[in-house]
Structure 1
Amino acid sequence: MLKNMLKNKIENYIGKLNISKYIDLDDCFGVEFLAQGEYNINFILKDKVNKYVFRINTKSQLDLKNQIEYEYNAIKRLEESGVTPKVYYVDNSKKYIEYGILIMEYLEGEPLDYKKDLKKAANIFSNIHSIEIKEVDLKNFIVEKNIFTDRIEESKRLLKEFWNSRYIDIKIKLFFEKFLNWCDENKFKEEYFKNNPWKVINNTEVNSHNFIIGKNDYYLIDWEKPVISDPCQDLTQFLAPTTTLWKSNFILNSNEINEFFNHYEKRFKNKDIRERVDMYKPYLYLRALSWCAYAYIEYQNPNKDIKNMDTYNKIKEYLDENFMEKLLKRWI
């Protein structure tokens, strides 16, 4: 398996390069597998005292050649929030390991629990969304100016192989066609966001396992594909059933959602975040379902670098026609 091959390469990599310039790690260190996503594999570097995350990126969801550098620069920029990990080292040369590499802080804690951690999540988002966007950020981050149109174009890109795929049932193709047409016909409503701009750094992958909740501190990790956009992007995704069901099989009720908003809004007086979230919902669902369709086809490739069967089963669940119809009955 790829992770086993990489473990040996990491040991050799640390031995060959003078990584001690960047992190405090003695010669008697160990490498342990930590976790993997769809396009990243994470290991723990540790000695008797210190622990770090050694992160390997296998593919860019943003079609970036400098994917790992983009992630590194984002985490570095976000350190001032106090709710993201510190990052120490990046290597995009692919000279010793054929993938992008970064080393960052190892954080102790557990994934977010929707039943008890909503206030902590609201604090995390408000800390990040309070970072003042500077001119240099507009150059270093992808900036979304047309939040509905961008979702439509993103989905069309994700669905490029979908329409002619023999792995996709015709009923599912017709459903996606209908949904895409609805989104296209209603994209004029994004004028509201243009006329009332509110730009922050968004993570764009805010499922429960991308949070680390410690005894005293809490964090949002996995900054693989951040963008500068309206804060409704992350908040809508965080609250949506396509996210809460992903790792936790949980759906927030109206009281829990209200509790979250009440806490988030303490930092942003007179902001219309609830209205923005409500307007953005169908476009968030378009992104989520289109990614599932894209990933489903990817999973049919026997040469895919990383395969997580839990993810694959959840993808199939989301692409079920009954699930999609129930999710989108308000709009189509």
Structure 2
Amino acid sequence: MANIEEKIREYLKGLPLGTLNLSGSGQLVVVRVGGGDYNLNFKISAGDTNFLLRLNVESQSGLENQIEYEYKTLQFLSSHNIAPHPLYLDNSKKLFEQGLLIEEFIKGKTLVFSVEVMKRTARTLAKLHTIPIAQASFFMKWSNPLRQQFEAVNESMRKYRQRKTANHEIIQIGDAFLKSMREKLASLESFFSPKSIIHTDLVPSNFVDDDEDVFLLDWEKARIDDPSYDIAVFFSRLANLWDSPRVLTDEEKTVFLSEYVSITKDETIQDRTEKRLALSTLHGILWAAGRISDVEEGVISEQLGSQNYERYKKIIDIQDLQKFL
């Protein structure tokens, strides 16, 4: 990994002429930038021209072609002004062991919570959630959103229970919650329908705010679902604290929902969001706990290493789950 930036520079120089319109743009500068837990991200600069290059180290979606799926997602969204434009895909893995995606670099800052920022964020998510899905046939889809979310969390619990370094308090509380939720599923699942494209991973660093508009990054596991999933994740303590110093206030959530509903006319979104919040919280806790086990058991990718180990520990709050029981 010590020479990865130089390797990327040589790779870019070898691309077919005109691929990124780099000729005559000046020296190529490659800088590692922060990003997700499954990708390595690099800002590519050539004069005044900037791109983002993503190497897909691990699959978060479970798809073998995750980087291609993200590229197709960005292509689909390219006319909606909510995501980077995709520029180049290389899934050959000839020079790099990982699939590679080059996309537009959007200037701005990570989401910083405030009332005004919530209005802009609500407008972006409303725009995403109201995109017609008739032509979105390639997206993954949860046909029964609440039940499939429950099954996904249940499967995460099954896998976590088998870890040698598993936290038994998480297992005990999680099992109690899932037992209670299982009894309610039949009466709740009809409230949810797969009617929107959702992002699924709305942590602050997956937003870019340029003070006029808010854009979304990291589209590797978008799918068709009920939009309440996105908002439940966005409102969760765990997602907020992944890379923000504080959680959303009640006022900020209220402003967000007011703006969102004024655009989408989805009058029951708050109720549906609240019904999914506990499942989202448990799923996030199990994800972070599983990544802690990956580090402690030495099975995490060497390229990612333990860079986020302290962050995993920071966002796990068992009391956050207990309040839902």
Query: What TM-score, normalized to structure 1?
Result: 0.90
Unaligned runs of 5+ in 1: none
Matched, 1:171 2:165: no
Deviation larger for 55-64 or 282-291 = 282-291
Matched, 1:105 2:104: yes
Please give the alpha-carbon distance, in whole angstroms, between the structure 1 residues aligned to 2:118 and 2:143: 29
Q: In the alignment, what sits opposite 1:24? A: 21
Shift of 1:182: 2.1
Please give the alpha-carbon distance, in whole angstroms, between the structure 2 residues aligned to 1:150 and 1:182: 16
- Alignment partner of 2:37: what SS? coil
Q: In the alignment, what sits opposite 1:95? A: 94
Please give the alpha-carbon distance, in whole angstroms, between the structure 1 residues aligned to 2:158 and 2:290: 8
Q: In the alignment, what sits opposite 1:212? A: 208
- Which amino acid in structure 1 is aligned with residue 257 of structure 2? F
Unaligned runs of 5+ in 2: none
Shift of 1:198: 5.3
Structure 2 vs 1, CA of residues 288 and 88 (structure 1 numbering), >3 Å: closer, same or farther?
same
Partner deviation per Cα, 1:121-177 (whole Å, 9 max, x = no partner): 10110111121111x413x11001122222232224334442132312333322222
Contact (CA 8 Å) 2:32, 2:43: kept in 1 or not?
A: yes
Deviation larger for 31-40 or 55-64 = 31-40
Matched, 1:328 2:322: yes
Q: In the alignment, what sits opposite 1:6? A: 4
Partner deviation per Cα, 1:185-224 (whole Å, 9 max, x = no partner): 2222343235xx3511111111111111114332111111
Contact (CA 8 Å) 2:9, 2:30: kept in 1 or not?
A: yes
- Alignment partner of 1:17: what SS? coil
Q: In the alignment, what sits opposite 2:77? A: 78
Q: Superposed, which structure 2 residues align to 1:31-70 within 5 Å? A: 31-70=30-69
Structure 2 vs 1, CA of residues 191 and 37 (structure 1 numbering), >3 Å: closer, same or farther?
closer
Q: In the alignment, what sits opposite 2:196? A: 200
Please give the alpha-carbon distance, in whole angstroms, between the structure 1 residues aligned to 2:266 and 2:98: 45
Partner deviation per Cα, 1:206-243 (whole Å, 9 max, x = no partner): 11111111143321111111011011011111112111
- Identity rate of aligned residues, in percent? 27
Deviation larger for 8-17 or 199-208 = 8-17
Q: In the alignment, what sits opposite 1:267? A: 263
Deviation larger for 151-160 or 271-280 = 151-160
Contact (CA 8 Å) 1:152, 1:286: kept in 2 or not?
A: no
Structure 2 vs 1, CA of residues 279 and 99 (structure 1 numbering), >3 Å: closer, same or farther?
same
Structure 2 vs 1, CA of residues 183 and 106 (structure 1 numbering), >3 Å: closer, same or farther?
same
Counterpart pick for 1:245 among 226, 234, 241? 241
Partner deviation per Cα, 1:243-295 (whole Å, 9 max, x = no partner): 11221131223222111111111112253111111111112112211211221
Contact (CA 8 Å) 2:234, 2:240: kept in 1 or not?
A: yes
Q: In the alignment, what sits opposite 2:147? A: 149
Q: Superposed, which structure 2 residues align to 1:223-234 within 5 Å? A: 223-234=219-230
Please give the alpha-carbon distance, in whole angstroms, between the structure 2 residues aligned to 1:126 and 1:91: 32
Contact (CA 8 Å) 1:25, 1:46: kept in 2 or not?
A: no
- Which amino acid in structure 1 is aligned with residue 310 of structure 2? N
Shift of 1:308: 5.0
Please give the alpha-carbon distance, in whole angstroms, between the structure 1 residues aligned to 2:213 and 2:168: 48
Shift of 1:184: 2.1
Please give the alpha-carbon distance, in whole angstroms, between the structure 2 residues aligned to 1:215 and 1:252: 19
- Alignment partner of 1:93: what SS? coil
Q: In the alignment, what sits opposite 2:124? A: 124
Matched, 1:280 2:279: no
Contact (CA 8 Å) 1:159, 1:294: kept in 2 or not?
A: no
- State the Cα RMSD in Å: 2.0
Please give the alpha-carbon distance, in whole angstroms, between the structure 1 residues aligned to 2:59 and 2:82: 24
Matched positions, count: 320
Query: What TM-score, normalized to structure 2?
Result: 0.91
Please give the alpha-carbon distance, in whole angstroms, between the structure 2 residues aligned to 1:158 and 1:5: 36
Please give the alpha-carbon distance, in whole angstroms, between the structure 2 residues aligned to 1:276 and 1:161: 27
Shift of 1:325: 2.7
Structure 2 vs 1, CA of residues 251 and 31 (structure 1 numbering), >3 Å: closer, same or farther?
closer
Partner deviation per Cα, 1:79-113 (whole Å, 9 max, x = no partner): 22212111111111101111010100011111111
Please give the alpha-carbon distance, in whole angstroms, between the structure 2 residues aligned to 1:21 and 1:157: 46
